[in-house]
Amino acid sequence: MSPTRAALVLEDGAVFLGEAFGAAGSARGEVVFNTGMTGYQEVLTDPSYAGQMVVMTYPLVGNYGINLDDSESWKPHVRGFIVREVCDEPSHWRSVQSLNDYLKANRILGLSGVDTRALTRHLRRHGTLRGVLTTDIPQERAGHGPDTAALPPDVPDAALPPEMVARLAEEARQVRLDGIVAEVTTPRPYHFGLPLPVASEPPFRVAVLDFGVKQNILRELVRHGCDVTVLPAATPADDVLALHPDGVLLSNGPGDPKDVPEAVDTTRALLGRVPIFGICLGHQILALSLGADTYKLGYGHRGSNHPVKDLASGRITITTQNHGYAIRDESVADLPVTVTHRNLNDRTVEGLRHLELPAFSVQYHPEAGPGPQDSDQLFDAFLQQMRDFRNRHDQACGGGTNTERGADSGLGAGAPNTQPATI
Which of the residues are catalytic? Answer: 280, 365, 367
Out of 107, 144, 188, 392, the residue judged to bind another protein by CB under 8 A: 144
Q: How far is the CB of 220 from another protein (least distance, A)?
A: 13
Q: In this structure, which amino acid lies at residue 397? A: C
Q: Is 140 in the site for another protein (CB under 8 A)?
A: no
Nearer to another protein, 15 or 271 (CB): 15
Q: Is 67 in the site for another protein (CB under 8 A)?
A: yes
Segment lying near another protein (by CB under 8 A), choices 36-44, 162-170, 240-248, 415-423: 36-44
Per-residue interface string for the shown chain with another protein, residues 360-399, x marking contact by CB under 8 A: --------xxxxxxx-------------------------
* First vs last C-alpha separation in the chain: 65
Q: In this structure, which amino acid lies at residue 102? A: Y
Nearer to another protein, 17 or 386 (CB): 17
Helices (H), 50-209: 99-105, 116-126, 162-173, 180-184
Half-sphere exposure of 254 (CA within 13 A, CB side): 29
Q: How far is the CB of 303 from another protein (least distance, A)?
A: 6
Nearer to another protein, 75 or 121 (CB): 121
Q: Is 338 in the site for another protein (CB under 8 A)?
A: no
Half-sphere exposure of 395 (CA within 13 A, CB side): 5
Q: How far is the CB of 314 from another protein (least distance, A)?
A: 6
Helix (H) or strand (E) holding 61: strand 60-61
308, 286 Cβ separation under 8 angstroms: no
Nearer to another protein, 116 or 185 (CB): 116
- Residue 403: CB atoms within 10 Å: 10
Helix (H) or strand (E) holding 8: strand 5-10
Nearer to another protein, 79 or 122 (CB): 122
Distance CA 279, CA 365 (A): 7
Nearer to another protein, 69 or 334 (CB): 69
| DSSP three-state, residue 326 | strand
Per-residue interface string for the shown chain with another protein, residues 294-313, x marking contact by CB under 8 A: ---------xxxxx-x----
Phi, psi of 288 (to 5 degrees): -65, -40
Q: Is 143 in the site for another protein (CB under 8 A)?
A: yes
What DSSP designation does 273 have?
T
113, 84 Cβ separation under 8 angstroms: yes
> If you write DSSP's letter for every residue of 360-400 in order, what string do you get?
EEESS-TT-SSS--TTTHHHHHHHHHHHHHHHHHHHHTT--
Q: How far is the CB of 215 from another protein (least distance, A)?
A: 13
Q: Is 3 in the site for another protein (CB under 8 A)?
A: no
Q: In this structure, which amino acid lies at residue 21? A: F
Distance CA 393, CA 397 (A): 6
126, 94 Cβ separation under 8 angstroms: no
Q: How far is the CB of 148 from another protein (least distance, A)?
A: 6
Per-residue interface string for the shown chain with another protein, residues 79-118, x marking contact by CB under 8 A: -----xx-x-xxxxxx--------------------xxxx
Number of residues that bind another protein (CB under 8 A): 65
What DSSP designation does 150 have?
G
Per-residue interface string for the shown chain with another protein, residues 155-174, x marking contact by CB under 8 A: x-------------------
Nearer to another protein, 174 or 373 (CB): 373
The residues of the shown chain that bind another protein, judged by CB under 8 A, are 2, 33, 35-39, 41-42, 57-60, 63-64, 67, 69-70, 84-85, 87, 89-94, 115-118, 120-121, 124, 143-148, 150-155, 303-307, 309, 314-316, 318, 344-345, 368-374
